[in-house]
């Protein structure tokens, strides 16, 4: 494989990872594409800060966390059951379906079936074991039953965590997982844009009151401008379903993309309903309190809002926004850290007015499942009461094109706080995890999030006056 082809292969692999834009820019230059001197100079601004050129590796994880497979549970099963019933060594321990098939095959030896894992009611007694021809002592039978029960539970957790990771990627990079290596190799210019844009979408949030930068910076804009009429716009639309790009697709392609984003929106909405029913979130302010499952909620909210935004773009590109007159599900607000809300209020701000809109509208999952009615007029009136424009804020129309962002070097972040030295950042991250693990087993520190919920405003206002980061260091003082 040539160096140019190898670079394209690495760019394709980066779609499932979390490389900095600097690393992607370095790989783009390695593809050997005929860039003009000004284009090459722009790419060099980012590539010159890549880990390969500077000689150090970033302290931040370069992949999204992957669920741990069932290798340990399969090894236990292999040890307990006879060799002819043991799982084959080639079984994929990260495939819930393959693992459950192994469990079902091994379970036949002791009369166990998937779903029959209640330790009190589903075990066979002595007479039943004798009738089934199971010549095991009660202790040995129980050991095998427990092993299968644990393996079945692990399979369910593995499937749930894999779905969560898939939705994390869906909320950031769209349908990048559907792009094949062959598509990358067939259109290298479009591939370069897709890889760089995904890296920009995957950037971490900094701890700041300002919003996120536009994912289209000056490098992404230059790469997109290299894609002419004959480019693979379908591949580009998988990750960037903006109205300008969707207009380049055929009606069939727009219809397919509309259906895929609609299905993704419904899936996220159903999962959000499950999380909402299992927690006690404050809908008025959406502030995190202790024991709230904010990680799962924010992951699903980001994926839902991304799918909803792309769905609106597809409707607009198809000239079908009138469908919102029948049903217009609203956005979902993320849960905010109480210290960030306190920071907003300390400078005269307050909760985002869009949170007021979210609180006034029916739940999106009720609208999508036909249990509540919410039309475009309903959303427009709620936005009007909150003092915002429904169309301009992306409630009833796609968001307008934001200004192209200038390229800025990716900062080393530890819990959203910039740390200049990557080595110190790695050390700080390890220390933060150690502090978090220790504090989870002891009493909460005085700056922890509030546990009571009588009034979120009162709870936030009565907290300590110092804002702390994950290391116990004061980084701001009110």
CA 133 from centroid of its chain's CA atoms: 49
Average pLDDT, integer, range 108-112: 89
pLDDT in tens, 419-474: 555 444 445 544 544 544 444 444 444 444 555 444 444 343 333 333 334 333 33
Question: How far apart (Å, rounded) are the C-alpha atoms in residues 437 and 447?
Answer: 16
DSSP 11-41: HHHGGGS---HHHHHHHHHHTT----HHHHH
The pair of three-digit structure tokens given for residue 450, joined into one six-digit string:
């509030």
Cα four-point dihedral sign 58, 59, 63, 64: negative
The pair of three-digit structure tokens given for residue 150, joined into one six-digit string:
């644990």
pLDDT in tens, 266-293: 999 999 999 999 999 989 989 988 888 9
Pair 314, 257: CB distance under 8 Å: yes
Give the pLDDT score at 200: 95
Question: How far apart (Å, rounded) are the C-alpha atoms in residues 448 and 462?
Answer: 12
Give the pLDDT score at 343: 75
pLDDT in tens, 291-316: 889 999 999 999 999 999 999 999 99
Angle at 396 between CA 392 and CA 399, to 5 degrees: 40
pLDDT in tens, 241-254: 999 999 999 999 99
Question: How far apart (Å, rounded) are the C-alpha atoms in residues 414 and 430?
Answer: 10
Torsions phi, psi of 467, nearest 5?
Answer: -95, 125
- 323's CB contacts (< 8 A; 6+ apart) are 315
pLDDT in tens, 404-416: 999 988 877 655 5
Cα distances from 211 to residues 105, 107, 135, 176, 214, in angstroms, run: 53, 53, 66, 24, 9
Mean pLDDT estimate for the chain = 85
Q: Coil, helix or strand for 90?
A: coil
pLDDT in tens, 138-152: 999 999 999 999 999
pLDDT at position 113 over 60: yes
Give the pLDDT score at 442: 44
Does residue 22 or residue 447 have the better pLDDT?
22
Per-residue three-class SS string for 315-378 = HHHCCCHHHHHCCCCCCCCCCECHHHHHHHHHCCCCCCHHHHHHHHCCCHHHHHCCCCCCCHHH
Nearest to 60 by CA among 6, 15, 21: 21
**Residue 231 burial (CB < 10 Å; 0-12/13-18/19+)?**
middle
The count of other CB atoms within 10 Å of the CB of residue 187 is 19
Give the pLDDT score at 337: 84
Question: How far apart (Å, rounded) are the C-alpha atoms in residues 372 and 273?
Answer: 14
Helix%, strand%, coil% for the chain, nearest 5: 55, 5, 40
Question: How far apart (Å, rounded) are the C-alpha atoms in residues 95 and 152?
Answer: 12
Nearest to 204 by CA among 303, 62, 342: 62
Above pLDDT 70, what percent of the chain?
83
Number of H helices, E strands in the chain: 21, 4
Give the pLDDT score at 387: 94
Pair 103, 87: CB distance under 8 Å: no
CA 190 from centroid of its chain's CA atoms: 24
Give the pLDDT score at 316: 95
> Directed axis angle between helix 294-317 and helix 138-173, to 10°?
40
Question: How far apart (Å, rounded) are the C-alpha atoms in residues 368 and 347?
Answer: 38
pLDDT in tens, 73-83: 998 888 888 66
- 283's CB contacts (< 8 A; 6+ apart) are 358, 359
Could you tell me where the beta strands, DSSP code E, fall in 206-332?
none
Q: Coil, helix or strand for 281?
A: coil
Give the pLDDT score at 417: 55
Above pLDDT 90, what percent of the chain?
62
Give the pLDDT score at 88: 53
pLDDT at position 58 over 80: no
Give the pLDDT score at 3: 84
H or E element that contains 182:
helix 181-186
Question: How far apart (Å, rounded) are the C-alpha atoms in residues 132 and 150?
Answer: 23
pLDDT at position 217 over 60: yes
Q: Coil, helix or strand for 168?
A: helix
Segment of 18-32, 88-102, 336-350 carrying the highest mean pLDDT: 18-32
The count of other CB atoms within 10 Å of the CB of residue 364 is 25
Nearest to 417 by CA among 207, 202, 205: 207
């Amino acid at each position: 494989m040539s160096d140019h082809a190898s670079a394209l292969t690495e760019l394709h692999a980066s779609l499932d990872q979390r490389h900095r834009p600097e690393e992607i820019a370095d790989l783009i230059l390695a593809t050997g594409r005929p860039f003009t001197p000004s284009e090459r100079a722009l790419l060099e601004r980012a590539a010159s800060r890549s880990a390969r050129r500077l000689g150090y590796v970033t302290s931040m994880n370069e992949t999204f966390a992957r669920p741990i497979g069932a290798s340990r549970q399969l090894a236990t099963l292999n040890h307990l059951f006879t060799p002819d019933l043991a799982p084959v060594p080639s079984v994929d321990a990260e495939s819930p379906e393959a693992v459950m098939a192994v469990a079902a095959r091994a379970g036949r030896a002791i009369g166990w079936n998937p779903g029959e894992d209640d330790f009190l009611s589903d075990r066979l007694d002595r007479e039943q074991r004798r009738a089934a021809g199971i010549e095991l002592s009660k202790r040995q039978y129980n050991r095998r039953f427990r092993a299968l029960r644990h393996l079945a539970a692990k399979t369910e957790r593995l499937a749930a965590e894999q779905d969560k990771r898939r939705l994390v990627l869906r909320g950031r990079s769209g349908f990048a997982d559907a792009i094949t290596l062959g598509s990358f190799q067939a259109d290298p210019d479009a591939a370069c844009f897709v890889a760089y844009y995904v890296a920009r979408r995957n950037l971490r949030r900094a701890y700041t009151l300002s919003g996120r930068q536009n994912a289209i910076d000056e490098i992404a804009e230059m790469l997109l401008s290299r894609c002419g009429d004959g480019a693979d716009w379908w591949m580009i639309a998988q990750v960037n379903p903006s109205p300008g790009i969707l207009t380049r697709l055929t009606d069939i392609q727009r219809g397919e993309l509309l259906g895929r984003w609609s299905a993704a929106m419904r899936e996220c909405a159903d999962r959000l309903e499950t999380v909402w029913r299992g927690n006690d979130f404050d809908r008025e302010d959406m502030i995190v309190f202790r024991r709230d499952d904010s990680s799962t909620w924010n992951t699903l909210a980001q994926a839902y809002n991304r799918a909803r935004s792309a769905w609106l773009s597809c409707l607009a590109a198809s000239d079908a926004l009138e469908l919102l007159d029948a049903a217009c599900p609203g956005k979902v607000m993320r849960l905010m850290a109480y210290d960030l809300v306190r920071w907003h209020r300390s400078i005269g701000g307050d909760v985002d007015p869009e949170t007021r809109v979210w609180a006034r509208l029916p739940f999106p999952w009720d609208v999508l499942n036909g249990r509540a009615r919410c039309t475009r007029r309903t959303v427009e009136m709620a936005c009007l009461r909150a003092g915002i424009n429904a169309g301009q804020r992306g409630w009833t129309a796609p968001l307008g094109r934001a200004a192209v962002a200038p390229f800025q070097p990716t900062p080393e972040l530890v819990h959203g706080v910039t740390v200049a030295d990557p080595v110190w950042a790695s050390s700080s991250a390890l220390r933060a995890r150690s502090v978090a693990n220790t504090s989870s087993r002891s009493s909460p520190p005085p700056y922890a999030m509030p546990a009571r919920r009588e009034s979120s405003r009162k709870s936030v206002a009565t907290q300590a006056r110092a804002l702390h980061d994950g290391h116990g260091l004061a980084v701001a003082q009110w």
